[in-house]
Chains A and B, each alone.
Chain A
Amino acid sequence: MNEIQTHFRAYADVLFAALAEDENLILQLKGEDSLFLRWNRGKIRQTTQVRQFEVNWTFQKDGRQLELSEQLTLNLESDARRGREHVERLRTQAKTLAASHQLAPVVPAQTSVRIGEVPPRDPARIAAQISAGAAGLDLIGFWCSGPVVRAVAHNRGLFLFESRDAYFFDYSIFTVSEAGENKAVKGFFSEPEWDSDGWAERWGQQLSRQKEDLELLRRPSRRLAPGSYRVYLAPGAVNSILETLKGGGFSALSYRHGQSPLKDLVEERRALSPLVSWTEDFSLGFAPRFNRYGEVPPERVPLIHDGRFSGLLVSGKTAREFGIESNGAEDAGWETEMPRSFAMAAGDLPADQALRRLETGVWINEVHYTNFSDLKTARITGMTRYACFWVENGQKIAPIEDLRFDVSVYDFFGEHLEALTRERQDFADVGTYFLRMWSGTRVPGLLAREFGFTL
């Protein structure tokens, strides 16, 4: 990543030198040098390596603002030539604009550089290690490794740069039940270092533990009638539902545009269970602590505290438009601010007691394709997926046929919420749309009653 840091500095210097006094240019760099291995039936279906470094411009001239995005070639001569052409184009377009009501902040100058280590990534060795552990299993998954980078610079002296190296293997193992149904368990494997001592053993041990659930999944499924059930949502299911809620639920811009699913909570007409506290927490280290404009957020931004509204995520651009204070949130570019390092407070239920406390009901390991069915009432619909079980007397009796749920956040995070687990699980964002995400979430499991299934 030293190469890209040097290039980004030089590229920025060339462009900053071309600016007039009434112009500002904020450059955000997002990049990766990735290896993707796509697995199916224990073999590799597709192999792709991608080196890409996208630079997002916020250009201001005399109070006008335009945005531009392009990919760097890492050839300074061609990147600088194209960059100077962009400056000219944006100057021309700026003449057609009125003064912007969304002018992004030009934050005070500072310099910070954090560079992670780059471990080796020999594709053949990765393939050999994964294959050896998964012999005999119907394994399908996604290996992703290589460095990622985020950086921001502006022509008033700011330079922030952070890179890290990371890998994960996000996978499923399928089996066929005694009744001929396809069933699967979900898995995720990632460690701070690739190929450290004992890596292969730990990978094998994780698969062995999952084989226990696979055995249970071979029992014939229980078909449950639609209705309300007592449920335990494992941390993976809670995380998936929160991913939907993050789409506007904590964004000041979404709220101002009338598109917040938590409008009634923000306006204190509704409350959640006192057990629920949600915080943007950069002390967890899930994401770089600066946004596309170089704003550095507080280490902790309380969003919901003890079930009541505490605050929204506000980017500098939203702050400017609505005359409110920024807390350095990321302007995600989808008309919303999104959490990047999100934590849900733990409860007091020991995770190993969750089955016993559930007593009789549905154990939901994961959910699929969640979406709002009604914003006003914060209703979310989705499907159960992966290793979900019918439980009686604290014992997993049988897998279930997957069910559709349609429930309000105000119910299952509200008066129907009975307990949260003491232990929490971390989820790195495995998203790779356009380029690799860099964010994460820490959540507990959740015990609730009257969880509504509809189909």
Chain B
Amino acid sequence: MSQIPFSVATDFAADLPELNAVRREIADATDFVQIRFHRELQQIRAVRNDRLEAPKLVRHQGAMVEVMCEGVLSYAGTADVSRAGLRRALEEARTSARALKPYALHQFPRDVRPPTAGTYESPGMATLKDLSLERVDEILGDANRALNRGPDITQRHAMAELVESETWTISNAGEDRRQRFALWVVDASASAERDGEVQTRSLNGAHARCSQGGADVLDRDELVAACEQAGEEARQLLTAENCPEGNFDLILAPDQMLLQIHESIGHPLELDRILGDERNYAGWSFVKLEDFGHLRYGSELLNVSFDPTLRHEYASYGYDDCGATASREMLIENGILQRGLGSLESQQRAGVPGVANFRSSSWNRAPIDRMANLNVEPGTTRLADMIAQVEDGLMMASNRSWSIDDYRDKFQFGCEIGYRIREGRVVGLVKNPNYRGRTLDFWRALAAVGDRQSFAAYGSPFCGKGEPSQVIRVGHASPHCLFRKIACFGRGS
């Protein structure tokens, strides 16, 4: 019997039969007009306790029409991508832009929309056709069985999500960009329960295994091995000691660094936050515009890049939604803050350098300043040497709890698993590990940065922000990092 392909992508152009007519129509407009077509095709397969859950297919398609009249921008989104549907959206956006001009916070020059043309494609997309739906189910079934490490394991879950996403942006100023993405999330977790105690261990924290790539992302043997380890650790955590309370030297694994980078470097450096756009919702930032080029954000070992060019990392792309070409930029060098996460619009408002990060979650949202791939650059310390530097400390991995204040200063994070370190050696597991601190104190306590061997990339599909709200995909890569004298605690502290 022939197998069913896991990929469901078809030719995007076939879904836009009136595209050329629309091009001709907007070419005559006197105002600047941009249309961003967006289609996402998502397949989700999941196995829980050896049973396949109801499969899910998602097909979202629409267009966001953007108009600039005398420097005032306005947006209208519609799922009707016919010429008539787009004409209606264009008229709505144009009417709003004109009517609201007296109330506009800013009027922008045309160069905030560079006339960029080009293409981008995730690596390995051609191989997706080789992966069948049946094979995906088989791999997830194997992974689910591998999580089962004895009678204490009560819940086992394994899932794979593939999003085939495509954007096609045109404008009457010459923009013409097509970007195609194959976006993966592979997730698995085991929960162990005994005497009312429940411990859950996932691969790298919930939904952290995010990447771009082809069929090889779903590596059966690697996934099964990781699931065996997760199941084993969930079981072992039941009898592990509670995380001790006190100030300890703390090593964070890359899959917890992802959250630490995201919350205490990524969000505070977003220029739209610093400019106050998010004050009613996500919050403001302790960073001020005058801090760029001066602020000692972390120790001299801290180097942070914005890098949407790493091909397999989750949030790589060629261009942002206003047409800025993506490039690698250093945000923090040798501990000093250099550059913010701000689009051409924010750079224009703030007068500081930024990056190509004007991103929207879908056709139904206007772009705002977002993270993409935000990485701590590798250092020179081998993990074994880092552990050897710790006299009395902890190592924590895989995020399970997160909270930070609206200025991105006071944080508290929790992990799935901790390791007790004494006299330079790992001596056992601890459960319910948490730590808390303040952003600048924490990064200034950075005492060692792992080498390229411990460098690993993860991400999240769920970074929330904005009014109206939107979730965006972000990637974060880091080696293991050592921080001195961090407040740590366990359950009940």
Q: Which A residues form the contact surface with B (CB < 8 A)?
A: 34, 36-41, 43-54, 58, 65-75, 78, 82, 86, 89-90, 92-93, 96-98, 100-102, 122-124, 127-128, 131, 140-142, 144, 170-172, 174, 182, 184, 257-259, 263-264, 269, 368-377, 379, 381-383, 385, 402, 404, 406, 431-436, 454-455
Contact = CB atoms under 8 A, between A and B. Distances in A.
B4 A93 contact: yes
B326 interface: no
Interface string B107-139: 000000000000000000000000001100100
Contact of B405 (A89, A402, A434): A402
A40 B55 contact: no
A34 B366 CA distance: 13
A37 B277 CA distance: 12
Contacts of A170: 280, 467
Contacts of A374: 401, 414, 432, 491
B236 interface: no
Contacts of B96: 47, 49, 123
B366 A69 contact: no
A44 B104 contact: yes
B4 A92 contact: yes
Nearest to A45: B105
A142 B491 CA distance: 38
A58 B53 CA distance: 13
Nearest to B464: A433
Nearest to A64: B54
Contact of A433 (B61, B76, B470): B470
20 contacts: A49-B89, A49-B96, A50-B364, A51-B79, A67-B54, A68-B59, A90-B57, A96-B137, A141-B280, A171-B280, A174-B276, A368-B406, A369-B406, A376-B197, A381-B401, A381-B403, A383-B405, A385-B405, A404-B403, A434-B471
The 6 closest A-B pairs by CB, nearest first: A43-B105, A432-B468, A142-B467, A124-B99, A383-B405, A71-B79
A454 B435 CA distance: 11
A166 B191 CA distance: 43
Contacts of B365: 48, 50
A383 B410 contact: yes
B155 A258 contact: yes
A68 B92 CA distance: 30
Contacts of A172: 279-280
B132 to A, nearest CB: 10
Contact of A68 (B53, B57, B134, B155): B57
B462 to A, nearest CB: 9
Given A374-B491, A376-B491, A433 B53 contact: no
Contacts of B428: none
Contacts of B437: 455
A371 B60 contact: no
Contacts of B105: 40-41, 43-45
Interface of B: 4, 8, 51-62, 73-82, 85, 89, 92-93, 96-97, 99-100, 102-106, 133-134, 137, 154-155, 191, 193, 196-198, 200, 275-277, 279-281, 283-284, 364-366, 368, 401-406, 410, 412, 414, 432, 434, 436-438, 464, 467-471, 491-492
A404 B77 contact: no
B76 A49 contact: yes
Query: Of B283, B403, B438, which is in contact with the most chain A CB atoms at under 10 Å from its CB?
Result: B403
A156 to B, nearest CB: 19
A280 B180 CA distance: 44
B79 A46 contact: no
Nearest to B55: A66
Contact of B404 (A50, A123, A369, A372): A369
A140 B283 CA distance: 11
A65 B53 CA distance: 9
A406 B80 CA distance: 47
Given A52-B364, A89-B57, A96-B137, 10 more contacts: A41-B276, A47-B75, A69-B60, A263-B198, A374-B414, A376-B196, A377-B492, A383-B405, A402-B406, A432-B469
Contacts of B434: 373
A53 B464 CA distance: 22
B54 A375 contact: no
Contacts of A141: 280
B152 to A, nearest CB: 11
A70 B60 contact: yes
Contacts of A52: 62, 77-79, 364
A289 to B, nearest CB: 25
Contacts of B406: 368-369, 383, 385, 402
A37 B89 CA distance: 16
B156 to A, nearest CB: 11
Contact of B103 (A44, A101, A379): A44
A455 B414 contact: no
A449 B410 CA distance: 23
Given A48-B75, A381-B412, A383-B403, A73 B93 contact: no
A258 B154 contact: yes
Contacts of A385: 405-406
A128 B102 CA distance: 9
Contacts of A369: 403-406
Contacts of A40: 105, 275-277, 279
Contacts of B100: 37, 44, 47, 123-124, 127
A373 B103 contact: no
Contacts of B52: 97-98
Contacts of B80: 51, 73-75
A406 B412 contact: yes
Contact of B196 (A174, A259, A269): A269
Nearest to A435: B364
Contacts of B281: 142
Contact of A258 (B56, B99, B198): B198
Contacts of B58: 68-70
A431 B99 CA distance: 27
Contacts of B467: 36, 38, 142, 170, 432
Nearest to B434: A373
Contacts of B284: 182
A182 B276 CA distance: 11
A256 to B, nearest CB: 9
A68 B364 contact: no
Contact of B436 (A46, A86, A123, A455): A455
Contacts of B470: 433
Contacts of A93: 4, 55, 133
Contact of B79 (A47, A72, A128): A72
A53 B276 contact: no
Nearest to A385: B406
Contacts of B277: 38, 40, 45, 140
A262 B354 CA distance: 45
A140 B278 CA distance: 8
A61 B75 CA distance: 41
A144 B8 CA distance: 35
Contacts of B492: 377
Contacts of A182: 284
A48 B76 contact: yes
Contact of B61 (A53, A71, A368, A372): A71
Nearest to A386: B406
A370 B401 CA distance: 10
Contact of B57 (A53, A66, A73, A123): A66
A253 to B, nearest CB: 11
Contact of B401 (A96, A97, A372): A372
Nearest to A102: B54
Given A48-B76, A51-B79, A75-B80, A371 B403 contact: yes
Nearest to B471: A433
A337 B79 CA distance: 29
A30 B196 CA distance: 39
A100 B54 contact: yes
Given A123-B96, A258-B155, A73 B82 contact: yes
B57 A258 contact: no
A455 B276 contact: no
